[in-house]
Copies of this chain bind each other. A is one copy, B any other.
Amino acid sequence: MKAEIIAVGTELLMGETQDTNSSWIGSRLPEVGLELHWVTIVGDNIDELTDILARAWERSDVVLTMGGLGPTMDDLTRDGIAGMLKETITTDPGLKAWLEDSFARRNMNPMPQQNLRQAGIIPSASSIHNSLGTAPSWWIERDGKILATMPGPPRELTNMWSTEIAPRLKERIPGNVIMSRMFKTIGLSEAAVDEMVGELYQMPGMDFGVYAKPDGIYVRAIAKAQTEAEVLSTLQAAETKIRAALDEYIWGTDEDLPAVVVGQLLRERGYKLAVLESCTGGMLGGAITDIEGSSDYFVGGAITYSSDLKVQAGVPAATIDDFGAVSEETAIAMAEAARRTYGTECGIGVTGVAGPDDQGDIKAGTVFIGVSHPGGTSVKEHRFPSRRPLVRNRAVTAALLQLASALRSH
């Protein structure tokens, strides 16, 4: 079935706010049996909004709007829908009471008069409360079509989607249970992964996709069937085959992040981690501490951007003198110094040339990553495309996945 997204807001057209919602919803639509055909961003202009709503209502089975549900006069999504469906907005007493209650609970009493706009509804819509904000959603089923409004702030939108909109859509889209699973690999090229899963492409009821991402190659398995039991068993069969083909390269699934995977492995083993970072300048520590509770296994480390600081943090001066600050030997010495200096079981050392300029003989994009743990120390050389932000981001991901792989095989 065809779905369409309409994102409302002049700030999206001015480039002041990036529309990240459409892509987030877009990646989730296959799981409710919908195929996204159009995304339109339109400003706070009632004629243009009503026009695109009418067109969407005509050509799509499910229309999802985002934004424009606030209390001010330029929040026009409700008016646009009412106009398009030729229905009249009236104040819903239940919604009004819920809104007043929301404001009272936040000690904002009385509710500003203009928020009453958010209690408006049309006859063919039912309302869905928003547990994270004051903008309720409308859910409309008419003429064999579905239209749902969602609030614009990403936290409110993702919550509304997951708890309210997606379950309703799954219920109403018949004969189409769809589930997907993402397998995240590292260490193989896109072509190699494609070849290894190629024979699965004939599995009935399954679709596969292979994608190159900054943290490796992903394989997405999408199963479709009439019942949930059927879809689960198809997906399980696909997973067994994918794991047989790619097991040693898979570092995570679905929402897994490298820093989360490393954190779990460290926690399971009761190990602590310290880092010594040169070209990543603190980004590796930043990625590790993005994760809540990372203080359970991460103690910190040093940003050794200058050679002096490397020595101060425990790297033998002779290693740097003999092999250079950007070398296998220095990366190993950094990983081992991290463990020794900070008294941890695991250490990571990252040294490289982020660029854009080469450093003497060493090409921009060259990064050495050393990983040390109770089972030993290993080092890898990487040659990333020589764009500075890319080099640094890839180096962080590679360092985390190198430690994860070392811990797993230990």
CB neighbours of A301 from chain B (8 A): 282, 302-303, 309
A211 within 8 A of B: yes
Within 8 Å by CB of A290, from B22, B300, B308, B389, lies: B389
Complex CA–CA separation, A26 to B39 (angstroms):
16
CB neighbours of A283 from chain B (8 A): 282-283, 285-286, 289
Instruction: Say whether B309 contacts A299, CB under 8 Å.
Output: yes
Instruction: Say whether B303 contacts A303, CB under 8 Å.
Output: yes
Q: A314-347 vs B: 1/0 string, CB under 8 Å?
A: 0000000000000000000000000001100000
A306 within 8 A of B: yes
Complex CA–CA separation, A48 to B36 (angstroms):
12
- Contact A303 B306, CB 8 Å, known A15-B24, A26-B15: no
Question: Which residue in chain B gives the minimum CB-CB distance to A211?
Answer: B16
A25 within 8 A of B: yes
CB neighbours of A388 from chain B (8 A): 290, 292
Q: Which of A1-22 touch B at CB < 8 Å?
A: 12-20, 22
Q: Which of A27-46 touch B at CB < 8 Å?
A: 27-28, 30, 36-43, 45
A295 within 8 A of B: yes
A281 within 8 A of B: yes
Instruction: Say whether A45 contacts B37, CB under 8 Å.
Output: yes
Question: Which residue in chain B gives the minimum CB-CB distance to A301?
Answer: B303
Question: Which residue in chain B gives the minimum CB-CB distance to A11?
Answer: B211
A275 within 8 A of B: yes
Q: A residues within 8 Å of B by Cβ?
A: 12-20, 22-28, 30, 36-43, 45, 48, 52, 211, 275, 277, 279-286, 288-290, 292, 294-295, 298-306, 308-309, 312, 341-342, 354-356, 388-389, 392
Complex A-B, nearest 6 residue pairs according to Cβ-Cβ distance, in ascending order: A282-B285, A15-B27, A281-B289, A282-B282, A15-B26, A283-B286
